[in-house]
């Protein structure tokens, strides 16, 4: 026989049980949101030096940190493009109570000049709270077809440049017992692709450098975040160097269909406020690739061999 009372009792038991789980869950979510908001508030007035701020992800990062109330220092080689970004920042976020961005052209591959650039920036801002090593160039071409000069140029810009700039900024961070260094690496810092030897090598080097650095500077209250990103829709493939040192000049399909730079910049911003040690921003297939390289290398070797034979960038 149908027992209405029993049904009512079990339903209300179910109701209280689910409430017992949902209420703490909601409380947890709200606390986390408040905590995150507080962390974002901590960005107010922070000085953020961004390399490669004249284009792509660096430009998006400038918007992300500027709108959180940071003073952004925009660095790259092309002054005119940096001025454009500065103007756009001022126009896009006119109500943000923030300090105007600073334009400071520099060439990462000219590593011996980097300490004096940092001194000049510090003379203006008084501090660098967050350094974002984002500037870089990519590469297209087989190992055999790539001139050693191209290997050097890519390594110099992506790896030695970022390492030297970090060394130049660190003493001021150590003195203040706080700071944050971010490295924009790539999925290719975890798993190399054919036709990209120089680029993959430079990002692997960056990855290792950051792990050493993170361990060393923890005692000085300095955080290190490494961002391994998948394809982002930027000028990277157009600016990539060919084996002979010319410009690749093409928007590759994978780059074209990559993440919006603004999306990646938001993820990087969150990783910084949460002081994440590393993040992976990627779709499933590259993640599987990284997993295979680490745990099933023979499968990775096979897939890469096939990819190299098919060539396709």
Ligand X SMILES: *[C@@H]1O[C@H](CO)[C@@H](O)[C@H](O)[C@H]1NC(C)=O
Q: Which stretches of the chain bind ligand X, using CB under 6 A? A: 126-127, 129, 176-178, 221
Residue 235 binds to ligand NAP (criterion: CB under 6 A): yes
The residue behind tokens 């002979």 is 244
The correct pick among 46, 49, 55, 191 for binding ligand NAP (CB under 6 A) is 55
What is the smallest separation between the CB atom of 176 and ligand X, expressed in angstroms? 4
Among 121, 128, 154, 236, binds ligand NAP (CB under 6 A): 236
Query: Which does residue 177 bind out of ligand X, ligand NAP, none, counting CB within 5 to 8 angstroms by kind?
Result: ligand X
Of 66, 159, 199, 300, catalytic? 199
Of these partners, ligand X, ligand NAP, none, which one is at the site of residue 127 (CB under 5 to 8 Å by kind)? ligand X
Q: Is 58 in the site for ligand NAP (CB under 6 A)?
A: yes
Which residue in 229, 268, 271, 292 binds ligand NAP (CB under 6 A)?
229
Q: Are strands 71-75 and 102-103 parallel, antiparallel or unpaired?
A: parallel
Closest contact distance (angstroms) between CB of 102 and ligand X is 16
Binding of residue 186 to ligand NAP (CB under 6 A): yes
Annotated catalytic, 199? yes
Q: Which of residues 62 and 170 has its CB atom nearest to ligand NAP in the complex?
A: 62
Judged by the rule CB under 6 A, the positions of this chain that interact with ligand NAP are: 51-52, 54-58, 76-78, 81, 107-109, 134-137, 157, 184, 186, 229, 231-232, 234-236, 239, 255, 258
């Amino acid at each position: 026989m149908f027992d209405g009372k029993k049904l009512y009792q079990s339903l209300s038991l179910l109701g209280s049980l689910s409430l017992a789980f949902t209420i703490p869950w909601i409380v947890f979510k709200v606390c986390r949101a408040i905590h995150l908001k507080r962390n974002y508030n901590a960005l107010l007035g922070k000085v953020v030096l961004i390399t490669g701020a004249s284009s792509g992800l660096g430009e998006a990062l400038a918007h992300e940190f500027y709108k959180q109330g940071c003073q952004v220092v925009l660095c790259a080689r092309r002054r005119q493009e940096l001025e454009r970004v500065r103007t756009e920042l001022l126009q896009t976020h006119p109500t943000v109570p923030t300090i105007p961005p600073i334009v400071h052209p520099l060439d990462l591959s000219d590593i011996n000049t980097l300490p004096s650039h940092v001194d000049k920036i510090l003379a203006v801002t008084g501090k660098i709270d967050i350094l974002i090593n984002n500037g870089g160039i990519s590469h297209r071409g087989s190992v055999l077809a790539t001139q050693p000069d191209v290997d050097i140029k890519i390594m110099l810009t992506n790896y030695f440049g970022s390492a030297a700039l970090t060394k130049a900024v660190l003493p001021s961070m150590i003195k203040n017992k706080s700071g944050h260094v971010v490295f924009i690496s790539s999925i290719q810092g975890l798993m190399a692709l054919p036709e990209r030897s120089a680029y993959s090598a430079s990002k692997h080097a960056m990855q290792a450098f950051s792990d050493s650095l993170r361990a060393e500077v923890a005692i000085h209250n300095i955080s290190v975040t490494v961002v391994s990103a998948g394809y982002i829709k930027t000028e990277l493939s157009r600016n990539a160097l060919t084996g002979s040192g010319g410009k690749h000049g093409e928007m590759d399909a994978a780059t074209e269909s990559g993440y919006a730079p603004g999306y990646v910049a938001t993820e990087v911003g969150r990783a910084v406020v949460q002081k994440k040690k590393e993040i992976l921003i990627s779709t499933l297939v590259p993640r599987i690739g990284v997993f295979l390289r680490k745990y099933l290398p023979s499968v990775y070797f096979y897939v890469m061999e096939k990819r190299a034979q098919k060539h396709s960038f």
